[in-house]
Amino acid sequence: MDFLAHLGMGFGIALTPFNLMMAVAGVMVGMLIGALPGVGPPSGVAMLLPLTFGMEPTSGIIMLAAMYAGTMYGGTITSVLINTPGESASVVTCLDGYQMALQGRAGPALGIAAIGSFIAGTIGVVLLMLVSPLLARWSLSFGPPESFALMLLGLTTVTLLGGDDPLKGYISMVFGLMLAMVGFDIISGDARYGFGIPEMMDGVDFLPVAIGLFGLGEVLAGAEQKDAGSQVKGKLRLREVLPSLADWAKSRWAIARGTVLGFAVGVLPGAGPTVASFLSYTVEKKVSKTPQSFGKGAIEGVAAPESANNAAATAAMVPMLTLGIPGSATTAIMLGGLMMWGLRPGPMLFEKNPQFVWGLIASQYIANVMLLFASTALIPLFVRALRIPYSILMPLIILFCVTGAYSLKNSLWDVGQMLVFGVVGYFMKKLGYSPAALVLALVLGPLAERSLRQSLIISDAGIGIFFTRPISAVLMVLALAAIAVPLAKWGRTLLSRTQSAT
């Protein structure tokens, strides 16, 4: 039981008063930062990184890890309350979280997200501790062909992301994929649809798009309603603020599935919490007995992605700690911090700096406990925000959207982008197109394109590479089935209709 001794040492380090204080501060600051749309975990960690340079490396990384957990949850708060994703991994939470808020169930939505995050985060740390080396090997087996197959599978789930008409789902997706084409061609380097504007060279950043589509789009649609009094009908009592036993019964398995899926996806290079949250939402809808309730305030639709994104965030530390390679944008910045402290990340980190690694792992447990307490204690306060009359809340949301889009890169261009997509979001909402499908395509599109073309370079343009490698082959078959089955069904109904017509 070597690792128990190590873990004990880790807790010994993490539970010193100063480090505990750092964990509390990290969670609190993280929640605040995460609640501001646009400022997600990467920029939050980046903002605090310089502050930690004066500290002991272990205290510093404890604070950053706690903050990471805090921002992940903070993003959920705005998704649920005002339909504005605070960070990218909370986009999909808007779908059912905001609907729950409109039904006066913002409390249970935030509560189940906190509980799901806690469970997923804790299980994630246990997995991180026990099976890191094994997982590192699994992540290495994911080369470009496997990544492409996974992204393709992700794209096929697009019709599950709201909207009653699958065709409209596909149209939204294609629009998203077209937006994903903007920017430099990764192989030839030709500028695509850039109109010579430098800001367009990196392509369309999806966070301003998501903030516009969801947050601003919602405000514009809401402004039409005449009696825009309080957004939420009915009273809010404290006892209704926490999830009920029935909610828990519904969410239990969603949390479990979200955790496992989130962790598996989070370990993979390039995928990360955002992809994990989308995939787990669609899986949940697929296995649900009442898929029609999704998008209309299904608590599983909040529980699953919120668990998945936390599990994925923890899993992203696997490649960082075992291979010394960042698994996500946030861990890339944390890795920069490690170097700043003179710790050389890499396979030797566990052997050379055990107090650091185990202190970090122990602090993850502590951060998760803190997060659960802090969030449940603050939920009644957050929920009260919904009592603000809509005429006052609305300008505040717009302010939130604008500052959020700006603070992403200190760029007015992103604000403009957010405004344009606010208008687009309004029309999509009116016409029944799914903004989530667009955002998913915009997230997955560049990843899919890159891995497709890398695979084809490696295979010298043979598509066999996708089917001769086992993991890739399985994923490809699943993806193709996901496309073929609805097509066949559609064809059959079309056929029977023409037959009955003749």
- Residues that bind another protein in the complex, under the rule CB under 8 A: 42, 46, 49-50, 53, 139-144, 184-191, 196, 198-199, 201-202, 269-270, 319, 323-326, 332-337, 339-340, 342, 344-348, 409-411, 450, 454, 457-458
**Which residue number, 230 or 454, has a Cβ lying nearer to another protein?**
454
d(CA 173, CA 107): 32
* Shortest CB 58 distance to another protein, Å: 17
Q: Of 374, 331, 400, give the one whose Cα is nearest residue 70.
A: 374
Contacts with 367 (C-beta within 8 Å, 6 or more apart), sequence order: 23, 26, 27, 62, 65, 66, 69, 70, 121
Distances (CA, A) of 16 to 7, 23, 59, 152: 14, 11, 10, 47
Q: Rounded distance, CA 308 to CA 364, Å?
A: 16
d(Cα 444, Cα 255) in Å, to the nearest integer?
A: 24
Q: How far is the CB of 304 from another protein (least distance, A)?
A: 27
User: At closest approach, how far in Å is the CB of 185 from another protein?
Assistant: 7
Nearest CB to another protein, comparing residues 297 and 326: 326
Please identify, using beta-carbon distances, which residue of 120 and 441 lies nearer to another protein: 441
* Structure token pair of residue 492: 């059959």
Structure tokens at 150: 């996974």
| Residues 105-119 as b or e (16 or more Cβ within 10 Å = b) | bbbbbbbbbbbbbbb
Given the structure tokens 């990290």, which residue do they identify? 26
Cβ of residue 324: shortest distance to another protein, in angstroms? 5
Q: Nearest approach, Cβ of 24 to another protein (angstroms)?
A: 24
Amino acid letter for position 72: M
Q: Are 301 and 294 in contact (CB under 8 A)?
A: yes
Distance, CA of 315 to CA of 396 (rounded, Å) = 35
Least distance to another protein, CB of residue 208, Å: 13
Closer to another protein by CB, 175 or 341: give it: 341
If the CB atoms of residues 14 and 334 are measured against another protein, the closer one turns out to be 334
Give the nearer residue to another protein in terms of CB position, either 56 or 199. 199
CB of 11 to another protein, least distance (A): 27
Question: Considering just the CA atoms, what is the radius of gyration of the chain in Å?
Answer: 22
Query: Minimum Å distance from CB 205 to another protein?
Result: 9
- Write down the H helix ranges in 316-347: 317-318, 329-340
**Closest CB 326 distance from another protein, rounded Å:** 5
Q: Which is nearer to another protein, 138 or 248 (CB)?
A: 138
435 backbone φψ class: left, alpha, beta (φ>0; ψ -120 to 50):
alpha
Inter-helix orientation angle 470-501/144-156, to 10°: 30
